[in-house]
C-alpha cells in the first residue's frame, strides 16, 4: 500500500511548527514506501527488528537517520552499531554496556534513550523509577561508558481509551525528563523526550514530547502483528 502523502504533509507541518521531530515508523513496510516519504523530505525512520533494519538500510539512501525503537537484544547490537542514529529502547545497564563496547569497536559514540516504564500494562519493557535513578547515578559518577551518550527518555503509554490515563503517563515521563535535563556531562546530554505514537501523539506533544514515533497513520495499518 502506498503512503498517504496528504496526511504526511499535514503531520509533518504540524510537528515542525511545534519543534517536534517525526520518526516515521516503517516496520513491516517495504523499502519502496520508505523511499516515497524520503522523496518528500523525511529523513528519520524507525524500525523494530534488527534484521529488517539491516536489510533496509543496505538498500536505501545513506543519509537516512535510522532509529532503533524495538527491544534490542545484546547479541544483536553489533549489527546496527555501524550505522544506527539513535537507540530508543535501552532498558538495562547490561545492554548499555554492550552498546558501549560495540561503539568503541566502531570508534564512535552511539546516542541512546533510556526506555522508562510508564504504562499500566505488564507487558511493556522499560526501567522503573528506581532502576532509572540507579542507571543515571552510575553514569553520572565516574563516566564509565565513554562511547555512549544518553540523550533522554522513551516511553509508551497504555493502550487506553481514556485520554486522561494516557496524559498522566506521559506527564510522568516528562517529570523524569525535567529532572535530568539539566545534567550535562560527556555521557549525559538529556535533550530528547521520545513519546507519542499514531493514536496518542497529540497528547504527547501537549505533555512536552519533542520526538514522536508514528507508523500506521503514515504507512497504513500493519498486516503483520508486531
Ligand X SMILES: *Cc1c(COP(=O)(O)O)cnc(C)c1O
Residues forming the site for ligand X (CB under 6 A): 25, 27, 48, 69, 156, 197-199, 213-217, 226
The residues near 72 (Cβ < 8 Å, ≥ 6 apart) are: 50, 80, 87, 89, 90, 95
Q: For residues 112 and 81, give the distance between their C-alpha atoms in angstroms, rounded to a whole number.
A: 11
Q: What Å distances lie between residue 144 and 5, 89, 107, 112, CA to CA?
A: 45, 20, 16, 15
Selection from 47, 100, 57, 60 nearest residue 77 by Cα: 100
Shortest separation between residue 211's beta carbon and ligand X, angstroms: 11
Q: Which three cell numbers stand for residue 81?
A: 552499531
Determine contact, residues 22/11, Cβ cutoff 8 Å: yes
Q: Which residue has the cell 506533544?
A: 205
Q: What Å distances lie between residue 160 and 50, 119, 156, 168, CA to CA?
A: 29, 10, 11, 12
Q: For residues 92 and 24, give the distance between their C-alpha atoms in angstroms, rounded to a whole number.
A: 25
Amino acid at each position: 500500500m502506498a503512503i498517504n502523502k496528504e496526511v504526511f504533509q499535514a503531520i509533518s507541518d504540524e510537528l515542525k511548527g511545534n519543534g517536534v521531530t517525526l520518526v516515521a515508523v516503517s516496520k513491516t513496510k517495504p523499502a519502496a514506501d520508505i523511499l516515497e516519504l524520503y522523496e518528500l523530505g523525511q529523513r528519520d525512520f524507525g524500525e523494530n527488528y534488527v534484521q529488517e533494519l539491516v536489510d533496509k538500510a543496505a538498500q536505501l539512501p545513506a543519509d537516512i537517520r535510522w532509529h532503533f525503537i524495538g527491544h534490542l537484544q545484546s547479541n544483536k547490537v553489533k549489527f546496527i552499531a555501524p550505522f544506527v542514529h539513535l537507540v530508543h529502547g535501552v532498558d538495562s545497564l547490561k545492554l548499555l554496556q554492550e552498546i558501549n563496547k560495540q561503539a568503541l569497536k566502531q570508534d564512535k559514540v552511539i546516542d541512546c534513550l533510556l526506555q522508562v516504564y510508564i504504562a499500566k500494562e505488564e507487558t511493556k519493557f522499560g526501567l522503573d523509577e528506581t532502576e532509572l535513578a540507579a542507571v543515571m547515578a552510575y553514569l553520572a559518577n565516574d563516566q564509565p561508558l565513554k562511547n555512549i551518550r544518553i540523550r533522554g527518555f522513551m516511553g509508551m503509554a497504555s493502550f487506553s481509551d481514556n485520554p486522561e490515563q494516557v496524559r498522566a503517563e506521559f506527564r510522568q515521563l516528562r517529570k523524569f525528563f525535567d529532572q535530568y535535563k539539566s545534567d550535562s556531562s560527556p555521557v549525559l546530554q538529556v535533550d530528547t523526550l521520545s513519546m507519542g505514537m499514531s493514536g496518542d501523539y497529540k497528547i504527547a506533544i501537549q505533555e512536552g514530547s519533542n520526538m514522536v514515533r508514528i507508523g500506521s497513520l503514515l504507512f497504513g495499518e500493519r498486516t503483520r502483528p508486531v
